[in-house]
Amino acid sequence: MPLKILVAQINCVVGDVSSNVAKILSIIDQAKADSVDLVVTPELSLCGYPPEDLLLRPDFLKECELALMRLADNVSGITLIVGHPHKEGQSLYNAGSVIQDNKIVARYFKQELPNYRVFDEARYFKAGVEPVVFSLAGVSVGLNICEDVWGEGGREASTQSKVIEHPARAVSSTKNNGADLLVVMNASPFHSGKDLVRRKVVQTQARLHSIPVIFCNLIGGQDELVFDGGSFVCDGAGEISAQADFFSESFMTVTIDQDQITSESKKPLLGNERAIYEALVLGVKDYVEKNGFPGVLIGLSGGIDSALTMAVATDALGAKRVKAVMMPSQFTASMSREDASSMAMGLGVEYSEVEIKPMFDAFMSSLSEEFLGRAFDTTEENLQSRIRGTLLMSLSNKFGSLVLTTGNKSEMSTGYATLYGDMAGGFAVLKDLTKQAVYRLSVYRNTMSACIPERIIERPPSAELRPDQLDEDSLPSYEILDAIVEHYVEYDRGVEEIIALGYLPEDVKKIVWLIHVNEHKRRQSPPGVRVTARGFGKDWRYPITSKYRGLIDQ
């Protein structure tokens, strides 16, 4: 008898347990109308992922328990697999429960608890040890949760894109317990290239164990994390049989009849620039909407970073929810004003200009005695940035919109940003993009439709805080800077290793020194979308007070 399965790739809101339950019940009603046998939801779909220290609250766990009971009371005539936290005695588990005919007939506890980069599961959960296999329509269905299929090589595969070809312990246990089909519930966050690594990991386990695998992944933005969906199914030989959408909530139906897997869902994989761009759009959209902001504010400078930020925001929220403010000074080039106005007009966003020179002059007049005899330096440059930050935050206070900061990873790495100035805001859209990545995505965005003026892309980058200023007056070329940042931050390569790759010792030592001495700035920066294997956020936890500078004493 064929087994019809609905893979529910849904966007769950952390802490909004009642709404998550209502969403799942709505899916159940539609699935029953479509004669579906089994509905699969993502990891911790009941409470959203990651709930972080909400898991330490007894009242939160009680709400989840009551919601699970309410869900079970309303599920009959169909089978549901739902993810949730489960307290048993003094132990808390990351669980998946199988509900049939108003009862929980099986419950699985996640065995491999990731505790690296953005994951902290060992802080909250105890590892399970027992496999779970249940029977449905003559098929023995086994259940695993996310890291279980990555096994002992999970950390290396997730961060270095290296898949270790050995059987994962939890998968082997499930197969040995008689499973004919493996269902894996996931909350696997996006970073560039992660979709291909996931496929390789799951295909390897399917092939090693000769078992079909249904991989159901979460979708949606949660603070700095973005879950890209991309759920898929592979057969016992590791061949892909079905592929769901990326970056959108979707429902993929799969039919399994003996050794045959059929599905109409055959979505393509995404190119790298498109995937990163869609991650930014989804990250902004969900951060704004899940937190209830009416819209966003952007300080538009006529430069590449604010231009890309506005493009992402407009694609995420629509032009009516985006306001751009140009705040020119005496150092702002006429082309910057022209390009900012042109782009805003082209996108149809609200646009205004506020001159900051009168305010700058007032500050300088007030500080004239204090600064007497001292030359113009970064103090006056930062003052301009802080005036702009104050203006944007005042508009935010008055109208309730969220300020999007425009700094990129290259700037955040080296401290080329002003505390309480251009770092002032609520969400940092480009925080995990190097400057070169910003240019690549800007070019990509223009392939969708003409959006960012070509002059913005072609002109040399400048903060325009002093006459004739260019970024590369203070920093190495972005080609060199970005490469060193990637080696040191994302791949943990040491100073000597990076120098051995052909970079000048003085460049490497300077950039690594800047990375460490600017930790205090990053600690005060807003969250932003993570799109690389390591961003400045949950997976970067360096001390502020530290004398380490990446050099080994000989």
Residues marked active site are found at 43, 110, 146
Give residue 33's identity as a one-letter amino acid code: A
* Pairing, β 250-257 against β 103-109: unpaired
Task: State both tokens at 41.
Answer: 């939801």
Would you give the distance in Å from CA 229 to the centre of its chain? 12
CA terminus-to-terminus distance, the chain: 70
The residue written with tokens 């930050």 in the block is 389
* Pairing, β 133-136 against β 3-9: unpaired
* Pairing, β 38-40 against β 3-9: parallel
Phi, psi for 432 (deg, rounded to 5): -110, 20
Task: State both tokens at 37.
Answer: 């046998």
Q: If you count them, how many residues does the chain have?
A: 554
Closest CA to 185 of 83, 256, 92, 105: 83
Beta strands in 467-534 (DSSP E): none
Structural Rg of the chain based on CA atoms: 26
DSSP-assigned beta bridge partners for residue 133: 142
Task: State both tokens at 262.
Answer: 């059929």
Contact 541, 519 (CB under 8 A): no
Phi, psi for 97 (deg, rounded to 5): -110, 145
Q: How far apart are CA 337 and CA 359, in angstroms?
A: 19
